[in-house]
Chains A and B, each alone.
Chain A
Amino acid sequence: MRGARLFLIVLLLSGGGKCAAQGIGIIGINLVTDPSGIALTGSGTTAAVMSLGTVQAYGGTVPTGVTKNLNATSFTLNTIVDLQVTFLGILSPSYTLTAQLLTTDVINTWKINSKTLSTTATTITSSGAYGTTPVNFALTVPFSEAAGTFANTIEFIVTSN
């Protein structure tokens, strides 16, 4: 009887009561370099770094795995990043993925899978399949922006369903 109680307590504390909605277990996410994308520093961790280097609208070069598209009044850098989402437990068929910028950017446009990011979480998918999923990253820089270095951080949040 004592063992059964202990098991029940552990189950409740571990979130067992939410299993119908969120599964029982622990979810994790790692950012991984995609074979077709830019090489991430810290690939395979929860805190990767993407350095696009020095880029320009006309001419110049872009890093391997990055493509540049010229628009009428801006240029866009595109690449692919893999999200490796794991779930250790049971009863979670999928996950919800949101992304957001940590710092407001009123000049450039940041997108994941064609969804524009801001400092408010944007849902990328509400039925993500566990495993490795490539996502498209796009950064659009207007011609009107002054030359210089800029940086921002995209935070991905995964929640088990």
Chain B
Amino acid sequence: MNVRHKLITLALLAIAVSFGVQPAHATVATGTVAVSATVSASVSLTFVTDGSGILLGGTGTSAATISFGAVQAYGGVVPANVTKTLNGTTNWSLTTPFDVVVQVANQTSSNYTLTATLQSTDATNSWDIGATAITTTPATLTSVGTYGSTSYTFKLTIPFSAAASTISNTITFTATAN
């Protein structure tokens, strides 16, 4: 190839580079991600401090705590938003409201059933949610619960005959979508 041919080649190359000639090789590439998921229905139950109730530990979660602190039948103090009631000479009780928030997802459900169960047997004290006594056997609080927030009143009744001590137990709430 002489110099003239080289110059012509370079000139043609410059022209080819300068002007748009559609590429024969792809400057485009594709890749795909196939995505799959199986969505299951689910129900959420959380406890929230009621505006008129005792401050819950772990409010907004599904594992809250109520701590009454040191209380006594006569005299003493109770935490804010806790009511103490003396029942003659038989027993005394502590009551406070708290909120139960139930939500549903990915299921057509107009309402829910809510039960409560005491985790450990208590043959001395009485545990109530509203007017329902709570024992180690599930008790139905409602069978037509409305999704969202519902206020319940917790009540712990302590007989005068019970020895002074620390009382603790756990109530398990179960919401089932209807």
Interface residues of A (CB under 8 A from B): 1, 3-5, 7-8, 11-23, 25-31, 40, 46-60, 75, 77, 81, 83, 85, 92, 102, 110, 137, 139, 141, 143-160
* CB within 8 Å for A19 and B106 given contacts A48-B33, A156-B30, A160-B27: no
The B interface is mostly helix, strand or loop, or mixed, namely mixed
Closest to B103 in A: A58
Contact with B38, one of A28, A54, A137 (Cβ below 8 angstroms): A54
Are B26 and A155 closer than 8 Å at their CB atoms? no
B residues in contact (CB < 8 Å) with A: 1, 5-6, 8-9, 12-13, 16-44, 103-108
Inter-chain contact B24/A11, CB cutoff 8 Å: no
The closest CB in chain A to the CB of B8 belongs to: A4
C-alpha spacing A110/B33, complex, angstroms:
12
Report the minimal beta-carbon distance from A85 to chain B, rounded to whole angstroms: 8
CB neighbours of B22 from chain A (8 A): 15, 17-18
Contact A28 B37 (CB under 8 A): no
With A14-B23, A14-B25 as given contacts, are A1 and B42 in contact (CB-CB < 8 Å)?
no
**A5 contact set on B, CB distance < 8 A:** 9
Cβ–Cβ contact B39 & A148, under 8 A = yes
Residue of B nearest to A28 (CB): B29
Q: Which of A16, A25, A54, A85 is the most central at the interface, judged by chain B CB atoms within 10 Å of its CB? A: A16
User: Smallest CB-CB separation from B37: which chain A residue?
Assistant: A52
Taken together as a complex, chains A and B put the C-alpha atoms of A5 and B5 apart, in Å, by 10
Q: Which 4 A-B pairs have the closest CB atoms?
A: A15-B23, A17-B21, A57-B105, A52-B37
A-B contact pairs, 17 of them (CB 8 A): A4-B1, A11-B13, A47-B34, A48-B31, A48-B33, A50-B33, A50-B36, A56-B106, A58-B103, A81-B33, A139-B35, A143-B105, A146-B108, A147-B41, A147-B106, A149-B38, A155-B32
| B33 engages A18 (CB within 8 Å) | no
Shortest beta-carbon distance, B62 to chain A, in Å? 9
The minimal Cβ–Cβ distance linking A159 to chain B, given in whole angstroms, is: 5
Q: With the chains together, A54 CA to B107 CA distance in Å? A: 15
- Report if A154-B23 is in contact (Cβ < 8 Å); known contacts: A8-B9, A143-B106: no
Asked if B23 contacts A18 (CB within 8 A), the reply is yes
Cβ distance B123 to chain A, nearest Cβ, rounded Å: 34
